């Protein structure tokens, strides 16, 4: 099974140039690094006493921590109970999918489950040449089904299914599937539709969308 996962990152930077002094500008103003002469004071013009101002050491707020990576996935009422491993992109520019029936792949370059925004993607094969895999049950999930994600630090995230879609692989919107902003969602993905002998692949992707409970 293959997924189109085109992620683009564009950056732009510039430099600021020092300004040019206006015509006729002379050295009458104090130069940076020097001080203008201060008028002298007489004894009767002593500076007034100033009140003591308490000083407090500034404490920076801790940076927000990113959620821990997912390590296990379970879907209530199904046989889906699999380890989750981190995956990236293969030589064919498609998301890598673990070969094992007992593993699903989390796209580590995208959103982490539990993040405040974005779509976290976990995918697995639908079958092998001889047997069906647990993710084959995704297409039969009902809205409201509970999805549990266990994190590497021992945390537990709860989701519920909001919808199940079957999308032709040629029409898959990778930008929407792997989005990094917007409402937080969990996407569970596998193959579906018709088997195409000429492509040695299925025609569709089954995509389950789940939202935090």
| Residue 168 CB partners (closer than 8 Å, separation 6+) | 193, 203, 204
Give yes or no for residue 5 having a pLDDT over 70. no
Give yes or no for residue 202 having a pLDDT over 80. yes
Region 156-171: mean pLDDT is 97
Q: Which CATH superfamily is domain 70-212 in?
A: Sortase (2.40.260.10)
pLDDT tens readout for residues 114-162: 999 999 999 999 998 889 999 999 999 999 999 999 999 999 999 999 9
123 neighbors 178 (Cβ within 8 angstroms): no
CA dihedral 137, 138, 141, 144 (to 10 degrees): 140
146 token code pair: 């509970």
Region 166-171: mean pLDDT is 96
Region 12-19: mean pLDDT is 33
Question: Which pLDDT band, with edges at 50, 70 and 90, does 51 fall under?
Answer: low
pLDDT tens readout for residues 172-186: 999 999 999 999 999
Give CA–CA dist 110/120, Å, rounded.
7
What is the value of pTM for the model shown?
Answer: 0.72
pLDDT tens readout for residues 93-116: 899 999 998 999 999 999 999 999
């Amino acid at each position: 099974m293959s997924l189109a996962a085109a992620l683009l990152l564009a950056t732009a930077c510039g430099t600021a140039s020092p300004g040019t002094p206006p015509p006729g500008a002379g050295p009458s103003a104090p130069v940076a690094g020097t001080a203008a002469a201060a008028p002298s004071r007489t004894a009767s013009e002593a500076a007034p006493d100033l009140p003591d101002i308490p000083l407090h050491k500034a404490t920076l707020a801790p940076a927000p921590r990113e959620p821990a990576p997912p390590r296990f996935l379970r879907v209530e009422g199904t046989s889906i109970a699999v380890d989750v491993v981190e995956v990236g992109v293969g030589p064919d520019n498609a998301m890598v999918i673990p070969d094992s029936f007992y593993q699903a792949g989390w796209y580590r370059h995208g959103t982490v489950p539990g993040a405040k925004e974005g779509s976290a993607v976990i995918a697995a094969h639908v079958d092998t040449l001889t047997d069906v895999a647990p993710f084959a049950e995704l297409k039969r999930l009902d809205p409201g089904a509970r999805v549990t994600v266990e994190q590497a630090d021992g945390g537990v995230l709860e989701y519920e299914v909001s919808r199940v879609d079957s999308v032709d692989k040629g029409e898959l919107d990778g930008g929407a599937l792997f989005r990094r902003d917007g409402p937080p969602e969990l996407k569970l993905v596998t193959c579906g539709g018709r088997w195409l002998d000429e492509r040695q692949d299925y025609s569709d992707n089954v995509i389950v969308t789940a939202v935090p409970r």
